[in-house]
């Protein structure tokens, strides 16, 4: 099976490749993530996925980084992440269709920090619209020890970066108070 795989980061790509070990798949990875901010962070994640893709012999497609794609579609509050997943999966489905793929999927399925159920629903809807099949591996590996490349400490967008810093700050304040 030739699988077109939206890839969010190097770590999740490795987890999905490991999940596909028993399937006969030829993977083309698609690093479309306009949510990632700032540019330096995008470049670090891109360098990491290039390294991993080369080591694993996976073809990697990298469209231009266009943050306006992300800021143009995200909703507010709880809808922010749904908009972000939808944007990336719909773009991947359209690209897959144009290039003659039958199956597509996403590495987001392997992340413990994302909502797999909603991602599967969005993926299946995007696939249906394009006449594709959204492929979900039978067993998805969500934990894997990996090293040798840059690893991010926040989800990707500027909001998640802010939230991460706030968590750290709040944690430090809490530690101070508890002493």
Interface with ligand SF4 (CB under 6 A) = 35, 80-81, 84, 155-157, 159-160
**Which of 20, 81, 9 is CA-nearest to residue 46?**
9
Rounded least distance, CB 71 to ligand SF4, Å: 11
Rounded least distance, CB 36 to ligand SF4, Å: 7
Nearer to ligand SF4, 19 or 33 (CB): 33
Rounded least distance, CB 153 to ligand SF4, Å: 13
Nearer to ligand SF4, 54 or 165 (CB): 165
Nearer to ligand SF4, 14 or 155 (CB): 155
Q: Please, which residues have CB within 8 angstroms of residue 47's CB and are 6 or more apart in sequence?
A: 149, 150
| Integer CA distances (angstroms), 91 to 17, 22, 37, 83, 86, in order | 21, 28, 19, 12, 8
Rounded least distance, CB 16 to ligand SF4, Å: 17
Strand partners, 61: 30
Alpha-carbon distance 22 to 38, whole Å? 37
């Amino acid at each position: 099976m030739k699988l077109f795989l939206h890839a969010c980061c190097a770590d999740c790509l490795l987890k999905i490749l490991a999940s596909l070990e028993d399937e006969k798949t030829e993977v083309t990875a698609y690093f479309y993530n306009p949510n990632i901010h700032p540019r330096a962070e995008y470049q670090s994640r891109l360098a990491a996925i290039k390294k991993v893709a080369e080591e694993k012999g996976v073809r990697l497609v990298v469209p231009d980084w266009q943050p306006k794609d992300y800021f143009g579609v995200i909703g507010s509050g709880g809808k922010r992440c749904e908009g972000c997943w939808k944007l990336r999966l719909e773009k991947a489905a359209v690209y897959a269709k144009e290039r003659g793929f039958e199956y597509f999927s996403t590495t987001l399925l392997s992340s413990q920090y994302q909502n797999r159920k909603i991602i599967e629903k969005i993926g299946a809807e995007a696939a249906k619209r394009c006449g594709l099949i959204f492929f979900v591996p039978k067993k998805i590996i969500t934990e894997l020890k990996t090293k040798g490349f840059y690893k991010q400490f926040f989800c990707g967008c500027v909001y998640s970066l802010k939230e991460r810093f706030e968590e750290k700050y709040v944690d430090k304040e809490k530690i101070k108070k508890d002493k």
